[in-house]
Chain A
Amino acid sequence: GDQVEQSPSALSLHEGTGSALRCNFTTTMRAVQWFRKNSRGSLINLFYLASGTKENGRLKSAFDSKERYSTLHIRDAQLEDSGTYFCAAEAMSNYNVLYFGSGTKLTVEP
């Protein structure tokens, strides 16, 4: 939606390298969630943050509500990390409706 701008739209990485995805928000959000879409099209929850940072294996996410952005860092990328990643931000006062980014298609190459 218009409230969330996700970048880049596509990203290509070589195995073992890393990069970051970013979502900027046009308004203050309560929390952010990062997903990966699996081969069946289902959304796999990666992180949910109301503030600060969280790390899980080779993934790390940060959320700054005041500065209105969130990032997802991937390090030591593996072939199986390929897929489409989405951020979704939870509106502060809109019954917790999620506003989704447009997605980042990540391709990890040997």
Chain B
Amino acid sequence: NSKVIQTPRYLVKGQGQKAKMRCIPEKGHPVVFWYQQNKNNEFKFLINFQNQEVLQQIDMTEKRFSAECPSNSPCSLEIQSSEAGDSALYLCASSWTGGNNQAPLFGEGTRLSVL
């Protein structure tokens, strides 16, 4: 049973529409990651946070996504204008800070289909 809760499970959007997904990390975990897994099983790191601050993000995320992890609210990842190529499984993971030898926990993902 995943302790990282992602909603919605499925999301269908038209091209140009906003697509927003949410993630509740494991209680106490300060670090949150978002990854994209495409239909070819290729994973791409998108962004990560420590508490409310962005640690690192790729260029695509900075340009086309809006992401945040407010205190006492779910983290969110929003595509501002969906494209067909954004159709993928979006995975959220949370963890303790580095070096503590504990595995990050993954949610079950939000599967986005852009029509």
Count chain A residues whose beta carbon lies closer than 8 angstroms to a beta carbon of B.
26
Do A95 and B104 touch (CB < 8 A)? no
Minimum distance in angstroms from A70 CB to a CB of chain B: 14
Select which of B43, B99, B103, B108 is within 8 A of A48 by beta carbon. B103
Tell me which residues across on chain B come within 8 A of A100, comparing CB atoms: 35, 42-43
By a beta-carbon cutoff of 8 Å, the part of chain B in contact with chain A is 2, 31, 33, 35, 41-45, 48, 50, 55-56, 89, 91, 93, 95, 97-99, 101-106, 108-109, 111
Do A1 and B56 touch (CB < 8 A)? no
Select which of A31, A42, A98 is within 8 A of B101 by beta carbon. A31
Tell me which residues across on chain B come within 8 A of A103, comparing CB atoms: 41
- C-alpha spacing A50/B98, complex, angstroms: 12
Chain A 82-110 interface residues, beta-carbon cutoff 8 Å to B? 84, 86, 88, 90, 94-100, 102-103
A97-B33, A98-B45, A102-B42 known; A42 vs B103 contact (CB < 8 Å): no
Instruction: Give the nearest-CB partner of A37 in chain B.
Output: B41
Tell me which residues across on chain A come within 8 A of B105, comparing CB atoms: 45
Do A42 and B55 touch (CB < 8 A)? no
Instruction: Give the nearest-CB partner of A95 in chain B.
Output: B55
Asked whether A60 is an interface residue with its Cβ less than 8 Å from the other chain, the reply is: no
Q: Tell which of A42, A48, A84, A99 has the most Cβ of chain B within 10 Å.
A: A42
